[in-house]
Amino acid sequence: MKRAPRMLIVEDPGLLRDALVEALSATARFELAGATDAIASARQMAVDLHADVVLTDLLLTAGSTIDLLRSLRDDTPGTRTVVLTSLRDGFAVRDALALGVSGYVLKTQSMSELMEAIESAVAGRRYLPPQLAERLEILEHQVRAPHGAGEAPGGRGLERLSPRELEVLRLVAAGHTTAEIARSLSISIKTIDTHRSNMYRKLALRNSVDLVRFASLRGIGL
């Protein structure tokens, strides 16, 4: 008999993780291999536990999971990743898919939809809810369009941001301080300040208040 796919949950302790553990433990469709909030050791856990799927958020208390997703994509290509997050902007979706994510699920969706996303990942298919697929299509259209044609205000500015700058922008929009962002991303406060200055210049903004307002209007970090 073929074994059930093994799952590793990388999520902050709390009600959500408890609910995920309970749901995955109660179904025969998957086998729960483990749960952790330790981003730094999650990749090795996935290897040691022979996890078929890693379920994680993009932003956790311990920081961003971007490096985790990148290492899983590059070092353990047989392990699928599914993101369960509140981030719904097109840039977050695009970046996650570029990191090899097989499923992108919003925390407002149902448990059955999450299960569907995990099963799709196991089968080698990509799962994306319709509303996010539409946002991604709009974003890609804006990127392809000539300057000013069908372009949402600020779209080109966001396109000029590097992946790391977008990562910092999401953390700023989520309310993290410079010191917290530096610890989360394992970079210096000076480097964070440099990223801020670059974002101000690229987006034609003056300060952090403008940056947070800009992000909020575009759904970044929400």
Q: Which two tokens stand for residue 169?
A: 């922008």
Domain edges within the chain: 6-131, 147-217
Distance CA 136, CA 150 (A): 14
Query: Residue 184: is it exposed, middle or buried by C-beta count within 10 angstroms (0-12/13-18/19+)?
Result: buried
What's the pLDDT at 221? 62
pLDDT mean across residues, the chain: 86
Beta-bridge mates of residue 32 = 7
CATH topology (fold) of 147-217: Arc Repressor Mutant, subunit A (1.10.10)
What's the pLDDT at 104? 96
Query: What average pLDDT does the segment 5-27 reach?
Result: 95
What's the pLDDT at 64? 79
CATH topology (fold) of 6-131: Rossmann fold (3.40.50)
- Rounded to 5 degrees, what angle do the CA atoms 183, 89, 5 make? 75
The answer to whether the 6-131 and 147-217 domains have the same CATH topology is no
- pLDDT tens-digit profile of 142-196? 556 554 433 444 445 677 888 889 889 988 888 888 998 888 888 999 999 999 9
Distance CA 131, CA 94 (A): 14
Is the distance from CB of 83 to CB of 56 less than 8 angstroms? yes
DSSP state letter for 127: B
Is the distance from CB of 126 to CB of 100 less than 8 angstroms? no
- pLDDT tens-digit profile of 48-99? 999 999 999 988 888 778 889 999 999 998 999 999 998 887 778 888 998 9
- pLDDT tens-digit profile of 108-154? 999 999 999 999 999 999 999 988 888 788 767 655 655 443 344 44
What's the pLDDT at 13? 94
What's the pLDDT at 54? 98
What's the pLDDT at 154? 41
Task: From 102, 90, 214, 100, select the one nearest 140 (Cα to Cα).
Answer: 90
Distance CA 213, CA 103 (A): 29
Query: Residue 81: is it exposed, middle or buried by C-beta count within 10 angstroms (0-12/13-18/19+)?
Result: buried
Beta-bridge mates of residue 7 = 32, 53
Quick check: pTM over 0.85?
no
Is the distance from CB of 69 to CB of 26 less than 8 angstroms? no
User: Beta strands 63-64 and 59-60: pairing type?
Assistant: antiparallel
Q: What percent of the chain has pLDDT over 90?
A: 52
Stronger pLDDT, 30 or 160, i.e. the higher one: 30
What's the pLDDT at 180? 87
Query: pLDDT confidence of 23, banded at 50, 70, 90?
Result: very high
Long-range contact pairs involving 201-205 (C-beta distance under 8 Å, separation at least 24): 202/157, 202/160, 202/161, 202/165, 203/154, 203/157, 203/158, 203/160, 203/161, 204/157
